[in-house]
Amino acid sequence: MEHTIYYFSATGNSLHVARTLAGKLGPCQLVSLSGLTELPQVTVAADVVGLVFPTRYFGLPPLVRSFVERLVLEKPVYTFAAVTSGSNRHFSSALVQLAALFQQKGQHLDAGFHVDMISSYLPLSALPPEPKLQARLIRADRQLERIAAAIQKREPVMEAEHFWPVFAAINHYWRKQLLPQSYRKFYTTGTCSSCGSCATLCPVRNIRMQHGKPVWQEQCQECLACLHGCPSQSIEFGARTAGKKRYRHPAVTAAELMAAKSGAARSSQNTEQSEPSYES
């Protein structure tokens, strides 16, 4: 049985989930959505196709929406999605939106799961204290055991999002009205070392280095990968991120997030699975 998991990850949460599931499902190709943005069509022939991604403003990230619109399944397959977030699944519309997109294409989303992890959206809230952060990541890994077992059995499990209409409306407003202006909120402080890590990390290549400083373009996903990945913590977003601790999943390295932009498929059998230490 062939498996393919497509993922989008800004701070490592979704990469860790995708990699963990791939390791439990058997032969599996891991493909980053960041490397597929220029393709007009993505054709898949696998028997099981999965999507792993974070919520954005309580719904689908535009990068995921664009991918599904270009996705072509060559044959009937079992499809699933695993959504990472830092809030309760009922404060989301991601699975409902994704299922609707599949339906519009004459396809079907067979299973959908929420994985409670760490919210990296610092304008809304700071990271939890280290003990709580570690405990939450451990619980997430336990969730993945159950999710992997359901996928292996091809179970039609769709976790409910009871208040999805409200959050779908919020996501739509963000995507249409707020997101086009998000790039204007980014700026660097005097500690910027001109290393260019932000440009390398950006999943949609939205940052250009000019005169040694990053300049944000108009295709921002508001994923904050640049903010969290800056080695000197010199990137801020609006007025509510200053002084807040940055985040990357402890089992994922900065180099792995940077490499994800290539979009090259990787076999789970040939990819070393790093064990999370859950230490700061």
How high is the pLDDT of residue 279? Answer: 38
Dihedral sign (CA 34, 38, 39, 40): positive
Where in the chain are the domains? 3-166+252-267
pLDDT of residue 280: 29
pLDDT of residue 90: 86
Look at domain 3-166+252-267 and name its CATH class. alpha beta
pLDDT in tens, 164-173: 999 999 999 9
The confidence band for 262, taking pLDDT boundaries of 50, 70 and 90, is low
Q: Report the amino acid identity of residue 66.
A: S
Largest CA distance in the chain: 54
Q: What is the mean pLDDT of the chain?
A: 92
Q: Give the Cα separation of 250 and 278 in Å (integer).
A: 6
Higher pLDDT, 112 or 27: 112
pLDDT band at 126 (very low <50, low <70, confident <90, very high): very high
Quote the CA–CA distance of 249 and 172 in Å, as a whole number. 28
Sorted by sequence, the CB contacts under 8 Å of residue 79 that are 6+ apart come out as 48, 49, 50, 51, 73, 102, 107, 108, 109, 110, 111
What are the Cα distances from residue 108, in Å, to 112, 196, 246, 270, 274? 11, 41, 37, 30, 33
Provide the pLDDT for residue 275.
43
* Buried b / exposed e along 78-94 (16+ C-beta atoms within 10 A): bbbbbbbbbbebebbbb
Mean local confidence (pLDDT), 92-107: 96
- Percentage of the chain with pLDDT > 90? 86
HEC assignment per residue over the chain: CCEEEEECCCCCHHHHHHHHHHHHHCCEEEEEHHHCCCCCCEEECCCEEEEEEECECCECCHHHHHHHHHEEECCCCEEEEEEEECCCCCCCCHHHHHHHHHHHCCCCCCEEEEEECCCCCCCCCCCCCHHHHHHHHHHHHHHHHHHHHHHHCCCCCECCCCCHHHHHHHHHHHHHHHHHHHHHHEEECCCCCCCCHHHHHCCCCCEEEECCEEEECCCCCCCCHHHHHCCCCCEEECCCCCCCCCCCCCCCCHHHHHHHHHCCCEECCCCCCCCCCCCC
What is this structure's pTM? 0.93
